[in-house]
Amino acid sequence: MDVQDIVNTVSAKAGLDHAVTEKVVGTIFSVLEHEADGTSASSFFAKIPGADALARKYDVMAAGASGGSSGGLLSSLQGALGGVLGEKTGALINGIAALRASGLDMAQIQKAGATLVQQAEAAAGPDLTNQVLGSVPGLKGHLGL
C-alpha cells in the first residue's frame, strides 16, 4: 500500500475532496516526520512508499505552511512557541493550524485522522504506527485518538 492508496481510502471513508485529503494526510505525515523519533519514523516512512515525499510537499515547517501567512496573533504565537519550545512543538502547532486552515471542522479532521491511522497500521503495522504516534502525543489528542 502506497501513500496514494492511503489518500484515496481516507478521501472515500471521510467523504472529503481528494485535494483536501492529500493536504490533510501530507500535513499529518509532515508533523510525524518532524516530531517522531528518528529510527521509528524512518522505518515507518520506509513502509509507506511516497509518504516522505508527501510530507515534504506539505512541510509544516516551511515558510507560510500553516496557511496563516496573513500574520496576526496566531502567527506570532506560532513563531514564539516554535522558537521557545523547539522545532517539535513548532511542527505540531503549525500542523494543527494547517489542518484548521484547510476548511475542515474538527469532526472531519478527526475522521480523516482516524482513517489515516487505520491505513497506516495496515501498511506499516500497528506496533510501528503506534510507536511513531506515541512519540507525538499532542497529535493523537488533536486527532481524537
Distance from C-alpha of 34 to C-alpha of 136, rounded to nearest angstrom: 10
Element spanning 117, H or E: helix 106-124
Q: Give the domain range for residue 21.
A: 3-142
Instruction: Answer yes or no: are the C-beta atoms of 91 and 34 closer than 8 Å.
Output: yes
Higher pLDDT, 62 or 28: 28
Instruction: Answer yes or no: are the C-beta atoms of 16 and 25 closer than 8 Å.
Output: no
CA 32 to each of CA 27, 36, 70, 113, 142: distance values in angstroms, whole numbers, following the listed order: 9, 5, 26, 13, 13
Residue 140: predicted pLDDT: 82
pLDDT grade for 68, boundaries at 50, 70 and 90: very low
Q: Is the pLDDT of residue 144 over 90?
A: no
pTM over cut 0.85: no
Distance from C-alpha of 104 to C-alpha of 123, rounded to nearest angstrom: 25
Q: Is the pLDDT of residue 12 over 70?
A: yes
Total domain count for the chain? 1
pLDDT over 70 percentage in the chain: 81
Distance from C-alpha of 76 to C-alpha of 50, rounded to nearest angstrom: 33
Cell numbers for 103: 476548511
Residue 3: predicted pLDDT: 97
Distance of alpha carbon 8 from the chain centroid: 16
Residue 86: predicted pLDDT: 46
pLDDT grade for 85, boundaries at 50, 70 and 90: very low
Distance of alpha carbon 135 from the chain centroid: 13
Q: What mean pLDDT is predicted for residues 25-30?
A: 96
Distance from C-alpha of 103 to C-alpha of 109, rounded to nearest angstrom: 10
pLDDT grade for 82, boundaries at 50, 70 and 90: very low
